[in-house]
Amino acid sequence: MKPETLAIHAARCPDPASGAIAPPISLSTTFERAADGSYPKGYSYGRTDNPTRSALEQAIAALEGGRSVSVMVVPGKGSMIAGLNPSTWSYEPRPADGGYLDVQEPFTNLFTQGMITRDGAKMSKSKGNVVSPREYVERLGADTARTYICFMGPPERGGDWVDEGAEGVHRFLARLWRLGLEVNQRTTADGELPERPEAGVRELLAKTHWAIDKATRDFERGFQFNTAIAAVMELVNDAYKLKHELFGDPDGDPALRFATATAASLIFPFAPHLGAEIWELLEGGRVWEEPWPAADPAMLARDTFTLVVQVNGRVRAKIEAESGLDDDELLALARADAHVSEQLDGRDVIKEIVVPGRLVNLVVR
């Protein structure tokens, strides 16, 4: 095999006192692959006999004070160029903290996404399980491919690619598109949302503001795109469930229009083509020029909630309870349920646990 050369180029930091910049360091190491094309033993990063690491450490050690601004590793065949920020190397201090820069680095932390697998295995051409985006973009659209990847699971964990999952996301986007067309055809843009919505109108508006709040918090708490998309799916489902009773109602038409346009706005980061089209149909203009929607706190407050009742930790009932009930009232409501009272018959309650607004757990023996 022909020997290959690995070149290491390292640029020096300016001297903090004089501002002078020393010439860059350029080092190289030569290695020869085996007859079968494999790299020498220990070539994987992290081994002391790794030629990449050896040359890199030589470059770092040769810099004044052991500091560098940037390091570039270039394999001889030119198959890969990796730019490595010095802040990510354990043996280099952050330049700003060392007094070498007047500004902080443009990032505060490193987020590493998980791997997308196929049939539980890492994708590989040799295994024949590689997913080509082109096929899915041509068949289902770029919006579907992008939304499905974000919907697969928490981004730090990755997920397993399943064709049925991509098709399910495609059906959801098609459903949202049909809703947008129907709402545009059956309502007008001159309606106003009621100040005191009632019944189905309030239910849909409350769901809309819940979806805004949910998606916003999921974005802010660590790129939880999958649950943000799930919130939009719930909103679309509720719009379909309530649309027949709301169409033609002076308060229902604006509520449907608002809910559908909001769904388009929330799905826009994942399905920009579809989101922009629906928004333009219902609201006019460009959705990316609009501010991110804000949830109305008044609409997030609920008159009732689902009280989960457990006996010895097992769910025995789910009861619709009024918001604001105290612990004694929640306990009385739980005990009055037929399924719960059956579990309590002839047994002693030794402990009562109440989580306001969520559950009652009765420990019996």
197-218 residue pLDDT tens: 888 899 899 999 999 999 999 9
With beta carbons less than 8 A apart as the criterion, state whether 197 and 255 touch: yes
- Provide, rounded to the nearest whole percent, the portion of the chain with pLDDT above 70: 70
**Dihedral sign of CA atoms 116, 122, 126, 128 in order:** negative
Measured distance CA(146)–CA(276) in Å, rounded: 15
pLDDT at 60: 47
Mean pLDDT of the 99-128 span:
72
134-298 shares its CATH topology with 304-364:
no
pLDDT at 42: 36
For residues 138 and 65, the model is more confident at: 138
pLDDT at 108: 61
Q: Hey, which CATH number is domain 134-298, 3.40.50.2000, 1.10.10.60, 3.30.420.60, 1.10.730.10?
A: 1.10.730.10
Beta strands in the chain, from DSSP E residues, in sequence order: 4-11, 25-31, 70-75, 82-84, 116-118, 121-122, 159-161, 304-311, 314-322, 349-355, 359-364
pLDDT at 213: 93
Going by C-alpha positions, the residue among 283, 174, 266 that lies closest to residue 275 is 266
- Mean pLDDT of all residues in the chain? 77
pLDDT at 154: 84
pLDDT at 262: 96
pLDDT at 197: 81
Mean pLDDT of the 88-100 span:
44
Q: Is the pLDDT of residue 291 over 50?
A: yes
Least confident of 112-121, 142-151, 229-238, 253-262: 112-121
> Which H or E run includes 151?
helix 142-151
pLDDT tens-digit profile of 214-253?
A: 999 998 887 889 999 999 999 999 999 999 999 988 988 9
Q: With respect to CATH, is domain 304-364 assigned 3.30.930.10?
A: no
So where are the chain's domains? 4-88, 134-298, 304-364
Q: Give CA torsion, residues 264, 268, 273, 279, to 10 deg.
A: 30
Least confident of 66-70, 98-102, 340-344: 66-70
Mean pLDDT of the 335-345 span:
90
Q: How many residues does the chain have?
A: 365
Mean pLDDT of the 100-108 span:
56
pLDDT at 99: 57
Using N-to-C axis directions, what is the helix angle for 133-140 and 163-186, rounded to 10°? 30
pLDDT at 37: 55
Its pTM stands at 0.61
Decide: helix, strand or coil at residue 322. Answer: strand
